Chains A and B, each alone.
Chain A
Amino acid sequence: MSDRMAAPILDIASLSVAYRGAAGWTPVVRGIDVRLEAGRTLVLLGESGSGKSVTLRSIVGLLRDEGARVEGEVRVGARNVTTMSDPELRQLRGGRVGFIFQEPMTALDPVFRIGDQIAETIVRHRGTTWKCAMGMAKELFELVQIPSAARRLSAYPNELSGGLRQRAMIAMAMSCEPELLLADEPTTALDATVQIQVLLLLREIQKERGTSMVFVTHDLGVAAEIADDVAVMYAGQIVEHGSADQVLLTPRHPYTQALTRCVVRGSYRDAALGELGGAPPDLGRLPAGCSFAPRCVRRADECLLAAPEPCEVAPSHIVACLRAADMAATPTGEFQES
Chain B
Amino acid sequence: MLFYAVRRLLYAIPIGIGVTFIVFSLVHIAPGDPISALLPNEATQEMVEQARREYGLDQPLLVQYATWLGHAARGDLGTSIGSGRPVASEVAGAVGNTVILAISAGLVACILGFLLGIVAGLWRDRPVDHIVSLITISGVSIPHYWLAILLVIVFSVDLNWLPPLGIGPDSSGGWRPDWPHLSHLILPTIATAAIPMAVIARTLRASVVDVLDQDFVTTLRAKGLLPRRVLWHVIRNALPTALAVMGLQLGNMLGGSVLVETVFAWPGTGFLLASAIFQRDLPLLQGTMLVLSMFFVLLNLIVDLVQSWTDPRIRRA
Report chain A residues within 8 Å CB of B239.
Answer: 111
Q: Which of A92, A95, A101, A156 contacts B219 (CB 8 A)?
A: A101
Closest chain-A Cβ to B234's Cβ sits at a distance in Å of: 10
- Is B236 close to A, CB under 8 A? yes
Q: Which of B214, B224, B229 contacts A91 (CB 8 A)?
A: B224
Residues 220-263 (chain B) with a chain A CB within 8 angstroms: 220-226, 229, 233, 236-237, 239-240
- Is A112 close to B, CB under 8 A? yes
* Chain A interface residues toward B at CB < 8 A: 60, 62, 65, 89-95, 99, 101, 103, 106-112, 120-121, 124-125, 156, 158-159, 172
Contact count A vs B, C-beta below 8 Å = 78
- Is B141 close to A, CB under 8 A? no
Q: Complex formed: what's the CA distance from A259 to B256 in Å?
A: 69
In the complex, the chain B residue whose C-beta lies closest to that of A105 is: B215
Closest chain-B Cβ to A286's Cβ sits at a distance in Å of: 28
Q: Given the known A-B contacts A156-B312, A158-B316, are A110 and B225 also in contact in the complex, defined by CB atoms under 8 Å?
A: no
Against A, the Cβ 8 Å flags (1 = close, 0 = not) of B199-228 are 000000000000000111011111111100
Q: Complex formed: what's the CA distance from A278 to B212 in Å?
A: 36
- Contact at B225–A94, with CB atoms within 8 Å? yes
Q: Which of B220, B221, B224, B236 contacts A95 (CB 8 A)?
A: B224
Q: Complex formed: what's the CA distance from A159 to B312 in Å?
A: 9
- Is B313 close to A, CB under 8 A? yes
Report chain B residues within 8 Å CB of A92.
Answer: 224
Residues 292-317 (chain B) with a chain A CB within 8 angstroms: 310-313, 316
Q: Complex formed: what's the CA distance from A149 to B311 in Å?
A: 22
Secondary structure of the B contact surface, majority rule: helix
In the complex, the chain A residue whose C-beta lies closest to that of B219 is: A107
11 examples of A-B residue contacts, CB within 8 angstroms? A93-B223, A93-B224, A101-B218, A108-B219, A109-B216, A109-B236, A111-B310, A112-B236, A120-B229, A121-B225, A124-B229
- Contact at B312–A111, with CB atoms within 8 Å? yes
- Contact at A120–B225, with CB atoms within 8 Å? yes
Q: Complex formed: what's the CA distance from A159 to B239 in Å?
A: 20
Q: Which of A65, A106, A111, A172 contacts B223 (CB 8 A)?
A: A172
- Contact at A93–B226, with CB atoms within 8 Å? no
Closest chain-A Cβ to B242's Cβ sits at a distance in Å of: 13
Q: Complex formed: what's the CA distance from A172 to B219 in Å?
A: 10
In the complex, the chain B residue whose C-beta lies closest to that of A64 is: B221
Report chain A residues within 8 Å CB of B220.
Answer: 109
* Chain B interface residues toward A at CB < 8 A: 214-216, 218-226, 229, 233, 236-237, 239-240, 310-313, 316
Closest chain-B Cβ to A110's Cβ sits at a distance in Å of: 6
- Contact at B313–A108, with CB atoms within 8 Å? no
Q: Which of B215, B216, B221, B236 contacts A93 (CB 8 A)?
A: B221
Q: Complex formed: what's the CA distance from A89 to B218 in Å?
A: 14
Closest chain-A Cβ to B217's Cβ sits at a distance in Å of: 8
- Contact at A106–B214, with CB atoms within 8 Å? yes
- Contact at B222–A108, with CB atoms within 8 Å? no
- Contact at A109–B233, with CB atoms within 8 Å? yes
Report chain B residues within 8 Å CB of A95.
Answer: 224
Q: Which of B215, B221, B311 contacts A106 (CB 8 A)?
A: B215
Q: Complex formed: what's the CA distance from A101 to B219 in Å?
A: 8
- Contact at B222–A62, with CB atoms within 8 Å? yes
Closest chain-A Cβ to B315's Cβ sits at a distance in Å of: 9
Report chain B residues within 8 Å CB of A159.
Answer: 312, 316
Q: Given the known A-B contacts A60-B222, A92-B224, are A108 and B316 also in contact in the complex, defined by CB atoms under 8 Å?
A: no
In the complex, the chain A residue whose C-beta lies closest to that of B217 is: A109
Q: Complex formed: what's the CA distance from A95 to B214 in Å?
A: 23
Closest chain-A Cβ to B240's Cβ sits at a distance in Å of: 8
Q: Which of A101, A103, A109, A172 contacts B237 (CB 8 A)?
A: A109
Q: Which of A90, A101, A111, A121 contacts B215 (CB 8 A)?
A: A101
Report chain B residues within 8 Å CB of A108.
Answer: 216, 219
- Contact at B225–A90, with CB atoms within 8 Å? yes
In the complex, the chain B residue whose C-beta lies closest to that of A110 is: B313
- Contact at B226–A158, with CB atoms within 8 Å? no
In the complex, the chain A residue whose C-beta lies closest to that of B229 is: A120
- Contact at A156–B237, with CB atoms within 8 Å? no
Q: Which of A65, A112, A120 contacts B221 (CB 8 A)?
A: A65
Q: Complex formed: what's the CA distance from A109 to B313 in Å?
A: 12
Q: Complex formed: what's the CA distance from A160 to B51 in Å?
A: 68
Closest chain-B Cβ to A161's Cβ sits at a distance in Å of: 14
